[in-house]
Amino acid sequence: MKFGAWLGLIALMLSLYILWQIRQLLLLVFTAVVLATALNRLARRWQRLGMQRPWAVLAAVGVLVLFFTLVFFLIVPPFTEQFQELQLLVPQGLDRITHWLNSFKVQLPQQVEEVIPDSEHLLQQMRPYANRLLGGSLVLVSGSLNFVLNLLLLLVLALMFLANPQGYRQLFIRLFPAFYRPRMAEILSHTETALAAWIVGALMSMGVISILSWLGLFLLQVKLPLANAVLAGLLNFIPNVGPAFSVVPPMAIALLDDGLKAVFVLILYFGIQQFESSLLTPYIMAQQVALLPALTLLCQVFFATIFGFFGLVMAIPLTVVGQVWLREILVRDVLDQWGGGQWPGSVGGGEGSPGGADDGGRSGFS
């Protein structure tokens, strides 16, 4: 291999190493792009109604701030109070279970009684873990300084992207060779459309889950039905994993009243998630964006392995973008053109070739 080829290989390996080291920053930038895409779509809707661009952007940001403020004050203070009460009542519940198990053990034959381990000893071992779990829940709710700093950086980046989306779009397009820039502009338009469709579908699904959860918890007379319903809708943003987390707070709160009520809460959430996974999500996503369930789960595991919990949260938008880029670049521009000798987006190319580096003056980005 020639010196130039070796130099290129070394440069490629060095670039991959640098990208790996800054992968968390890249994920943060991607999240800011997704957030800015959603806000930009909302701002453009208001622009169509006659609102000027600066006012439309300000209104979109105001809606976002108002939403997260309401969610914070709706969820955090009451949940903190309930989990503090639960932390006090857990030892009492464990003592009650110990008494019940001892009463049951006395009624058993002596041969069976000798085989069963001592319940009091087991529950004493469980008590520190239960208290630690509840204490960890409070820490999780309160958050950390690192999370707050990342959130502020995310919001600042999103606002910067939102202020001049076309400028950042053109800057990204110029990173590609001149002959491929028109095609890249087209791919970015497809990506933005797919992301926006997924955002709409996710919001619709979250809304339906919140309404069904609130109605079920209200009928079961579980405390904080609205807060738990909003939390269930938000956690539904994380398929497969979020619904499992969302059932823990209402079950824990139901345990404060009656153990049987907690079982009913589990049945309620199981039924809602079956409805969501079997009927709601396939119908909504069929209208918005198509993602195979097995592919979704594999991508969640893949991105969680690379980026951690934040990668699990952003796995679906990453999958949507990856699906578009694989379809457009790998399949259509490479595999479908194998031996053709011409890019679909090049001059004189195939159908739908854009005329320049921008996509008809479209104000948006992906």
Provide the pLDDT for residue 358.
42
Distance CA 70, CA 65 (A): 9
Cβ-Cβ contacts under 8 Å for 121 (sequence gap 6 or more): none
Residue ranges of the domains in the chain?
22-163
Provide the pLDDT for residue 30.
93
Provide the pLDDT for residue 287.
59
Provide the pLDDT for residue 108.
60
**Phi, psi at 324, each rounded to 5°:** -65, -45
Distance CA 36, CA 357 (A): 21
In order along its 366 residues, the chain shows pLDDT tens digits of 677 778 878 888 998 888 888 998 899 999 999 999 989 988 988 888 888 988 999 999 999 889 888 888 887 787 777 666 666 665 665 566 566 666 666 666 655 555 455 545 555 555 555 555 445 444 444 445 677 788 888 889 999 999 888 899 999 999 888 999 999 999 999 999 888 888 888 888 889 999 999 999 999 988 888 888 888 888 888 877 788 888 888 888 887 777 788 889 999 999 998 888 777 777 776 656 667 777 777 888 899 888 888 888 888 899 989 989 999 998 898 888 776 555 555 444 444 443 334 443 344 444
Per-residue buried b or exposed e for 181-191, using 16+ beta carbons within 10 Å of the residue's own CB? bbbbbbbbbeb
Provide the pLDDT for residue 35.
92
Rounded to two decimals, the pTM is 0.70
Provide the pLDDT for residue 78.
77
